[in-house]
């Protein structure tokens, strides 16, 4: 089974205006949507499009948490959230008025008892399972939570996927994650220099492998992606043609596609192709990629 973890899920309230936002005035929307999300939840959503079942883990609170949980169930996603007694699952307001303005909620405080409850759920994972950790860690939680979770799983053969930045990513390498997915700019920040060209990106990815990462997938927006797999082979792929309308969730979609592709075929080149198709399909869509969109781009790669 694939398990995704979203520490701080959200309901995105997206408001569209037909003119510029006027601060201090009453602004009337021409349309609005509610999107249920968070990085791990996004991964679960795209996995479902690919026919891969997953369980979304994390924390929810209050009536907004109940709403999010019901909404994901209506989409056919399996969840096993921990319910917090205090606070409310956050609402992020995103105003699209030419330029986009965002107001992101803080989310509930996550007590140590809730984190312990999550750890107990993860204790059931075995070598047949995949655990996907994505995004930042809320300020109410220990900032070494990723390390703590992977240390607890060490020796059980669970394939861990980590999509995070800087120290959050570097500090888990000692636990030999199956996959890490920095973008080229994040990879440059980690190694302390601007990376130009495939040769430098490959060398930086290999440096993270020497620290423990098994497979390093580097996304490069419109320039495609580069994978250094655990055998040392380098795989390079370009980006399919299309108009980028939404970058939110594209990285999560790439992770979902890569994991699904690898589990389905056991081949890293197939995983890279499907990951690239999924990431691009989301970037070319207003929401997360649908299967028909993924299939169309996959055929063009």
Give the pLDDT confidence score for residue 126 in this predicted structure: 94
Q: How far apart are CA 7 and CA 137, in angstroms?
A: 7
Average pLDDT of the chain is 94
| Catalytic positions, written as ranges | 252
Give the pLDDT confidence score for residue 127 in this predicted structure: 94
Residues 83-123 pLDDT 10s? 999 999 999 998 989 888 999 999 999 999 999 999 999 99
Give the pLDDT confidence score for residue 281 in this predicted structure: 94
CB 150 within 8 A of CB 172: yes
Nearest alpha-carbon partner for 191 in 201, 199, 180: 201
Give the pLDDT confidence score for residue 166 in this predicted structure: 86
Rg (CA), the chain: 19
Q: How far apart are CA 144 and CA 168, in angstroms?
A: 7
Give the pLDDT confidence score for residue 246 in this predicted structure: 77
pTM: 0.93
Give the pLDDT confidence score for residue 212 in this predicted structure: 96
Give the pLDDT confidence score for residue 213 in this predicted structure: 97
Those residues whose C-beta lies under 8 Å from the C-beta of residue 42, and which sit 6 or more positions away, are: 134, 249, 252, 253, 256, 288
Give the pLDDT confidence score for residue 287 in this predicted structure: 84
Counting as low any pLDDT under 50, the low residues of the chain are none
In order of their start, the domains of the chain are 2-8+38-86+108-300 (3.40.1190.20)
């Amino acid at each position: 089974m694939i398990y995704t973890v979203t520490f701080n899920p959200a309901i995105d309230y997206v408001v569209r205006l037909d003119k510029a936002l006027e601060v201090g005035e009453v602004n009337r929307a021409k349309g609005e949507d509610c999107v249920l999300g968070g990085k791990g939840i996004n991964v679960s959503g795209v996995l479902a499009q690919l026919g891969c079942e997953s369980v979304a883990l994390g924390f929810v609170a209050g009536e907004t948490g109940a709403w999010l949980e019901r909404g994901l169930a209506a989409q056919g996603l399996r969840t096993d959230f921990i319910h917090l007694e205090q606070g409310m699952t956050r609402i992020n307001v995103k105003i699209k008025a030419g330029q986009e303005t965002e107001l992101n909620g803080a989310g509930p405080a996550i007590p140590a008892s809730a984190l312990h409850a999550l750890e107990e759920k993860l204790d059931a994972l075995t070598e047949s399972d995949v655990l996907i950790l994505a995004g930042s860690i809320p300020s109410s939680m220990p900032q070494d939570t990723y390390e703590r979770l992977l240390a607890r799983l060490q020796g059980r053969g669970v394939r861990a996927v980590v999509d995070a930045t800087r120290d959050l990513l570097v500090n888990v390498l000692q636990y030999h994650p199956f996959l890490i997915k920095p973008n080229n700019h994040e990879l440059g920040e980690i190694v302390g220099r601007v990376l130009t060209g495939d040769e430098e990106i490959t060398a930086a990815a290999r440096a993270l492998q020497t620290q423990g990462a098994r497979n390093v997938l580097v996304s490069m927006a419109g320039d495609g992606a580069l994978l250094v797999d655990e055998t040392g082979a380098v795989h390079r792929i370009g980006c399919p043609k299309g108009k980028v309308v939404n970058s939110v969730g594209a990285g999560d979609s790439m992770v979902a596609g890569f994991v699904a592709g690898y589990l389905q075929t056991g081949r890293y080149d197939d995983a890279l192709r499907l990951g690239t198709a999924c990431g691009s399909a989301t970037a070319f869509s207003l929401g997360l990629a649908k299967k028909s969109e993924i299939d169309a781009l996959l055929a063009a790669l």
